[in-house]
Amino acid sequence: MKHLSIRVPWHDNNWNGSVCCSPAANPFCLTLHNILEHKNNLDEDRIASKKWGDLKPEQLPACKGENGGFMNEESYKRIFVHVYANNKQLPHSQLLPTAVDVPAFSAFGIPFRYLSKASQEDMDTKYPGLSRDEEPPFRTSWIFGAQRQRDILHWFLKDVVEHESLVVFYCKNGNPVDEDAARVIVGLGEVSRVHDVIEFDSTADYTYPAWDLMIEHSIRPSLKESNGFLLPYKEYLAIDEQIFKDKLHISKNAAINEIKLTLDKVGNSQKIFDELSYGCDKISHHSMLIILSAARDSVEAVIRHGLVGGDWKRQLRWIDLQIGNIKKASGPFPGFAEALRAIGVNYAYLIEHDLRISKHLTPKGNPWMAYSDLLSDKIQISGVAYNSELGYYKAYWHATADKQKQVLMLLSRFELDSTQIKYWVERPESYDDLLANPYLICEEGDTSISTQMVDYGVIPDVQIQGDWIPEAPSCVDTLIDQRRIRSLVIEKLRFQADLGDTLLSMRELDSLLKEELDKDKMLLPPDYLLKVGSFMQEKLEYIKTEDSVSIQLREFTDMERWLQKRLSARAAKDVKEPLSEDWASLVKNTIAFDASNPQSVMAVKDQAKALGIISSRRLSVLTGPAGTGKTTVVKAFLSSKCVMEEGVLLLAPTGKARVRLGSMASNTQALTVAQFLTKQGFFDWSTMSAYIPAKDKQRKYVGAKNIVIDECSMLTLSDFYVLLNAIDLKTVNRIILIGDPYQLPPIGEGRPFFDLCSFLDNDSKLRTTAIAHLHTIVRTIHQGGQSDILTLASWFSGNQVAKDADEIFEKIRKGSLDSDLKVYSWKTADELKQCLLNVLEKELPFSELSIPERIRKSIGMDDTYFAMEHPEMVEGFQVLTPVKNPVWGSLQLNKYFQEWLGNTNVKFAIEVAPEYIYHGDKIIQLQNEKRESYPSKLKFQLSNGQIGFAGYVSGKYKRASIVFNGIPNESFSYFPSSSDDVAVPIELAYAITIHKSQGSDFDTVLVVLPKSGQILSRELIYTALTRAKKKLILLVEDSPQWMLEYTKPQYSVMAHRNTNLFKYSVRESKVDVPHIEGLIHKTLKDGLLVRSKSEVIIANMLYEANIDFEYEKFLEEKGKRFLPDFTFEDAAGDPIIWEHLGMLSNPAYKESWDKKLAFYKSIGFEEGTNLFTTIDHENGSIDSDEIKEVLQTIEDLL
């Protein structure tokens, strides 16, 4: 239950449902914008003092919309006209003026706070289930969609309980009582009736709700009939000054000060100030108690003064009653009053209050005992309003089952509200379980309740509970009680799921629990989780292997099992309706094919083979490193007439990926996954999460027979689970999943796309029929030669690199890189700015120009008119960084660029906190939304990550017009935002984080790469390196050689995730790395991880033979550095190297080995002497006899 605050204007006749006695003499109401805009003193003076019920609706005074008549004794009619009704371009133009009969003693409240756009994120976080808003076609601070408005209005009213909720009427500083007071409370009462949300009459088959919520209240002019009151400001103001002096011996103002109810009387509480704001808002119980206590002082002053008539003592009793109804208690049973309310005791808080102030209940006493004594007449409290009710309460309590009483007493030990308590009280079938295990409160229902919150109520602690420590069966005598430990395990599993794990090893959970218990100097017995396994498995799944046990939330077990079955089953089946296409021809038509270029010919062959795979299976995967032509394959697939006739649904997880995917086919719209799920009813925008609705509310997708999903590496386990559940799979011919599994993993649990790729690759049949790997680098076909960018990136891909790929590090060291990659370094944060400027001076084209001119030219801002037609130029140059806030973060880097561009005078900017936006600034969109553009006035879908520029900025007119890539000759208006708390829709984008760049690519990329930081990982660097299409510039802290360390498997965030989708992959401890087929290859040598299964075999055989070796150790011979697989030292102290060759059947790989072999020969290595090789055979096998022979030869040389 909540209480209401409703703002009213000052009225010179107690808001009695009549026009002011002297409207022109009442300027106080003009502080409210709505009245200032509409009030006409001449017109209102003509009808002064007339009752509103005697006036035509159009004659009502301006304050009709601001509760100027909330004490109306008679009903009146009011006409509501929607503010947008006159805009013919809006759907609101169909809304009609709507007449509403307003009953006596009614008020209207508009909950502006919750209808404000600025509050929507908070609303969605706190109150899930609200409908998604519609984007307005103009600038506004308010939500626009009818259904979301309706949802919020209904939500606002649902906690307002007739005859229980109170209503506080207040004026802002426009009042004659205290002109310095920000708020003056003028009256308090009960909400006696809550009316339904008013809907506008409409000529269409839709309508919109009126925001004015109507309630009736209990305040009456006659205090004998009133439950609540108006403070007698009007009467005191009308009394002559001399009367105060003669009777009270104080001034009029002093007397008014004693009765007035202003913020200083309630402790100048900011919370109460906020609750008495925004036109109409909710007031918490604690705040209401403070207000009522202050109101009691005011009423007592009125009684003491004796200047006005009326039954003010009745109002004192009413206040006391309300205090009892809403007061919260502390001590061993802090939820006592809430527990009573949960069973319908109307006077719960007043009872507790009176028991306490009468000393029958001490702060550490048991309110249940005092309550029982009160009901049995052992305690007598005279003059209380509930005396006549005690008989009913006594009968009810005696009729209440003992088990329910125990549950109530238990729940009252926790700081829960009545709703949380009622959740359990209304479930008698759970009473025994709850009493036996209070931690079910954490595990079920409201999962925001922490284990520690329950600890305070059930673990004996005399400092908290005094003499009333908990008893069996609910008592928890030790911190290692299995009930508490299970709650902690569930809490840890939920937390780790947010970090990516879908399960945890028992060993790691033991470690986490020991850390928790160590805070209290407690130990966890050995194998504790195993010994209490049967109890744990009531809520959790134990996943057992031959040598390990892990624990998983049951929901993730269900998801993984469901996905495993369906993904593997579809991947194993051919399509029902195969295609007959000349895929090679379609590829050639898609690219600039050059028959004389062997690389071009190989690319066509590679891509045509991929098309054959993805077109033939019910589910398939298209993958490949950056630059291998995934986009080309998709375009060729979508160019098939047969495919398009079957229908295609294009999906992507991000807005930018959606835009790119949508550009691959004409007349086919791409959707974000969230948009698609929303349409099908499988997405909750308030929590920004996908979910499975009840079966009767599910709308499974039936339509296109081909579903293409891009950037699949960004999808979590639950995303995949809900997405496939939202599709009627039996109607779909092909599901094609596209992505690079070695990019950053999804934000959330699991790594389903990587796990699927790994499963398919390790299945002897599916590896050639259900997954298409693109190998040929097509990005460099027309550039000539190899790409240093892609060579460097290959080291961070998790794939086996080309045999001569180690040359890239030597080229970096010597500064002999090809034209597409440049590497620079910086030493300290202090010199970063100058280093960055120096790099720009060296690398930006048009060296004859100044730096500001070169920066502008690099992003197309040297001619904004031309850029309007070609906004894609803004993506010509992009700076990336891992993070936002440090000196090397995007926030600071953007400030550097603005400084170099001369954008420093804020008079010419608009503030979008914490940045200023100037004309020509590069901008990134941060929200998926629809906005109206200029000049077409069409609504365009803008996507999170979409980049543009500020084509116009006016500090004077407080507006910026932003032009986005993909939408030429259109601009979108944005306005200032100075709040630190409001999520802004745009920010500067000279530099953006690497995470924000995922799914995008740019012609030239400059990556600022710090040497340290928790966020650094192999996938993060890989993602950054693969954003550049033409040129990559690295500005690396210290020597770039440290980057090699991050190519190792132990620096893979993907590898550190625990999953069990297709194969059990769980680290034993939080510092370990789980074994992942195709990604992590552990050896017997302590701490050594290698890059392939064959290398595992070699390393293990060397280890077992007790032969010393180094893996991937840089050597230098004749001034040249190289990185062999295995290195040994012979008897003379010279190096011996062993290279294992994995893919000689691949022409590109063989070519790279030939180059490497020639290099080895040039520096004095000869095969069979100090250079040895082994190979993988075409079927992927390795000959152990060959390995033994090489091993023995090397051993003889050592």
Contacts of 589 (CB under 8 A, 6+ apart): 636, 639
pLDDT value at residue 330: 47
What average pLDDT does the segment 687-694 reach?
Answer: 82
Question: 804-847 pLDDT, tens per residue?
Answer: 888 898 888 888 887 799 999 999 877 899 999 999 999 999 99
pLDDT band of 128, cuts 50, 70, 90? low
Element (H, E) at 217: strand 213-217
pLDDT in tens, 1028-1077: 989 999 999 998 989 988 998 888 899 889 999 999 999 887 666 665 65
Six-digit token pair at 263?
A: 């913020």
CB 743 within 8 A of CB 1027: no
Contact 977, 1004 (CB under 8 A): no
Does the structure show a pLDDT above 50 at 699?
A: yes
Task: Say how far apart CA 235 and CA 387 lie, in whole Å.
Answer: 34
Query: What DSSP character marks residue 802?
Result: P
**In the predicted structure, residue 59 carries a pLDDT above the cut 90:** yes
**Tokens 């934000």 label which residue?**
747
CA distance 311 to 318: 11
User: Which residues, 6 or more positions from 752, have their beta carbon under 8 angstroms from its beta carbon?
Assistant: 563, 715, 716, 717, 719, 720, 746, 1059, 1061
Q: Which tokens hold the place of 1136?
A: 């011996």
For the chain, count helices (H), then strands (E). 46, 43
788-1047 has which fold? Rossmann fold (3.40.50)
pLDDT digits (tens, 9 = 90+) for 589-644: 887 777 777 777 888 888 999 999 999 999 999 998 777 888 889 999 999 999 99
Q: What angle do CA 532, 534, 535 make, to 5 degrees?
A: 70
* DSSP label at residue 603: H
| Digit-coded pLDDT (tens) for 252-304 | 989 999 999 998 777 566 667 888 998 999 987 767 877 888 899 899 999 99
Compute how many other C-beta atoms are within 10 angstroms of the C-beta atom of residue 156.
24
How many Cα atoms occupy the beta-carbon half-sphere of 628 within 13 Å? Answer: 22
Task: Give the pLDDT of residue 981.
Answer: 39
In which residue ranges of the chain is CATH 3.40.50.300 found?
575-773, 788-1047
Q: Give the integer Cα–Cα distance in Å for 1044 and 1138.
A: 20
The type of residue at 1029 is: K
pLDDT number for residue 783:
57
Helices in 889-930 by DSSP H: which ranges? Answer: 890-900
553-560: long-range pairs with CB below 8 Å, 24+? 553/490, 553/493, 553/494, 553/497, 553/502, 553/503, 556/497, 556/502, 556/503, 556/717, 556/749, 556/750, 557/1060, 559/502, 559/717, 559/718, 559/721, 560/502, 560/717, 560/1059, 560/1060, 560/1061
Lowest mean pLDDT among 496-505, 527-536, 946-955, 1116-1125: 1116-1125
Helix %, strand %, coil % for the chain, to 5?
40, 20, 40
**Contact by Cβ (8 Å): 917, 950:** yes
The confidence band for 703, taking pLDDT boundaries of 50, 70 and 90, is: very high
Percent of the chain with pLDDT over 70: 94
Distances (CA, A) of 268 to 166, 169, 265, 853, 1076: 21, 18, 7, 55, 60
Q: How far apart are CA 1058 and CA 1068, in angstroms?
A: 10
Distance, CA of 1094 to CA of 76 (rounded, Å): 88
The amino acid that residue 824 corresponds to is: Y
* Euclidean distance between CA atoms 1087 and 203, whole angstroms: 74
| Predicted confidence (pLDDT) per residue in 742-752, tens digit | 999 998 999 99
Q: pLDDT grade, residue 439 (50/70/90)?
A: very high
Q: Quick one: which of 444, 414, 545, 437 has its CA closest to 485? A: 437
Across 322-330, average pLDDT: 62
**C-alpha separations of 1032 from 232, 778, 818, 831, 997 in Å:** 75, 17, 11, 21, 14
For residue 980, what pLDDT band results from cuts at 50, 70 and 90? very low
| Model confidence at 375: pLDDT above 90 | no
Share of the chain above pLDDT 90, in %: 55
Determine the pLDDT at residue 69. Answer: 96
- Between 507-511, 638-642, 734-738, 828-832, the lowest mean confidence (pLDDT) is in 828-832
pLDDT tens per residue across span 557-589: 999 999 999 999 999 999 988 888 899 888 888
* Dihedral over Cα of 449, 451, 457, 462: its sign: negative
Per-residue pLDDT, averaged over 51-65, amounts to: 95
Q: Which residue has the tokens 């209290």?
A: 520
Q: Mean pLDDT throughout 668-675?
A: 86
Q: Where in the chain is the domain with CATH 3.40.960?
A: 1083-1197
Question: Can you give the pLDDT at residue 784?
Answer: 56
Contact 76, 98 (CB under 8 A): no
When mean pLDDT is compared over 368-382, 856-870, 873-887, the highest value belongs to 856-870
Contact 211, 153 (CB under 8 A): yes
431-435, 536-540, 668-672: range with lowest mean pLDDT: 668-672
Lowest-pLDDT choice from 242-251, 358-367, 979-988, 1157-1166: 979-988
- Structure confidence at residue 385 (pLDDT): 65
For the ranges 792-801, 829-838, 1113-1122, which has the lowest average pLDDT? Answer: 1113-1122
- Report d(CA 185, CA 892) in Å as an integer: 47
**pLDDT for 785 beyond 60:** no
When pLDDT is cut at 50, 70 and 90, the band that residue 1080 belongs to is: low
Rounded-to-integer distance, Cα 106 and Cα 102, Å: 7
Phi and psi, residue 2, nearest 5°: -130, 165
Q: Where are the alpha helices (DSSP H) in 687-762?
A: 717-725, 752-761
pLDDT of 328 above 70: no
Pick the CATH number of 1083-1197 from 3.40.50, 1.20.80, 3.40.960, 1.25.40: 3.40.960
- Band the pLDDT of 892: cuts 50, 70, 90: confident
Q: What tokens does 1100 get?
A: 């293990």
Q: What is the mean pLDDT of residues 453-473?
A: 82
pLDDT confidence tier of residue 447, bands split at 50, 70 and 90? low
3-state secondary structure of 575: coil
For 480, the token pair is 């290692």
Does the pLDDT value for residue 150 go beyond 50? yes
Shortest CA distance to 1198 belongs to which of 1143, 1149, 1126?
1126
Residues 6+ apart with CB under 8 A from 473: 435, 436
What's the CA angle centered on 1081, arms 1077 and 1087, to 5 degrees?
145
Q: Is 309 exposed, middle or buried (0-12, 13-18, 19+ CB in 10 A)?
A: exposed
Contact between 129 and 151 (Cβ < 8 Å)? yes
Residue 176 preceded by cis peptide, ω within 30:
no
Q: What token pair was written down for 27?
A: 């300027």
Q: Tell me the average pLDDT of the chain.
A: 88
Task: Find the Cα–Cα–Cα–Cα dihedral 861, 865, 871, 875, rounded to 10°.
Answer: -10
Q: Which CATH superfamily is domain 575-773 in?
A: P-loop containing nucleotide triphosphate hydrolases (3.40.50.300)
Q: What's the average model confidence in pLDDT over 9-22?
A: 94
Torsion sign over Cα 937, 943, 944, 950 = negative
Q: What is the average per-residue pLDDT within 79-99?
A: 95
